[in-house]
Amino acid sequence: MDHLAFAQLLGSYGEFIGAISVVATLVYLSIQVRQNTKLATVQVNNSAIEGYARFREQQNLHPLIVVKMQQGAELTEEEDVIAVNLISEALFASAIAFENTRKLEPGDANRYSRTAAGILRRYNWSLARNAPLLEAAGYSEFLDEVRARLADSPGH
C-alpha cells in the first residue's frame, strides 16, 4: 500500500470517527437539554409551592380574617391590609409560576391562572384590588388569563 492510499484510508477513518463524534455529541446535548428542562420545571413547581405555603401560613396566622373574607363580610382597615397581602402572596405565586411555565411548557401555564381565579372566588376577592401590583411587576398576560377565567363570575 502506498503512502497516498494509506493517507486516504486514514482520512476516511477520521471522517467516520468525526461523524460518530458529532452524532454522540448531539445525543448528549439532547439529553442535557431534556434534563435541564425537567430541572427548570421542578424549580418552577417548587417556587409555586413555596408561595402557596406562605399563603397558607398567612391564612393560619389570620383565620378570622380568612373566614370574614370567605363570608364576604366587611373588613376593618387593618384587616383589609392583611387581606390584600394575603391574596397578593397567592397571586404572585401563581403569576411567577404562570410566566415560568409558559416558557417551559406553554400548555401547562393555564393551571396557574385557574388556581388564581379559584382563590379569588373562594375568598370573595376582586382581582382589581391586586391588579395594579401585578401590572407593575409585568404580569399583564397572567392578569388577562385570570380576568378571562373570572369573566363569568360577577364582582371580579
- Give percent above pLDDT 70 in the chain: 90
Split into its structural domains, the chain has a count of 1
Residue 43 lies in a domain: yes
Confidence of residue 156 (pLDDT cuts 50, 70, 90): very low
How far, CA to CA in Å, does 33 sit from each of 21, 22, 29, 47, 109? 18, 16, 6, 21, 20
Closest C-alpha among 116, 123, 105, 108 to residue 148: 116
Residue 156 lies in a domain: no
Least confident of 75-79, 86-90, 96-100, 107-111: 107-111
pLDDT mean over 105-128: 90
Residue 155 lies in a domain: no
Q: Is the pLDDT of residue 129 over 70?
A: yes
Residue 31 lies in a domain: yes
Residue 134 lies in a domain: yes
Residue 64 lies in a domain: yes
Closest C-alpha among 85, 83, 91 to residue 67: 83
Residue 51 lies in a domain: yes
**What b/e string do you get for 36-66 counting C-beta neighbours within 10 Å, with b at 16 or more?**
eeeeeeeebeeebeebbeebeebbeebeebb
Residue 46 lies in a domain: yes
pLDDT mean over 50-68: 90
Q: Is the pLDDT of residue 133 over 80?
A: yes
Give pLDDT, residue 41: 63
User: 50: phi > 0 → left, psi -120 to 50 → alpha, else beta; which?
Assistant: alpha
Separation of first and last alpha carbons in the chain: 86
Domain that includes residue 31, residue range: 3-150
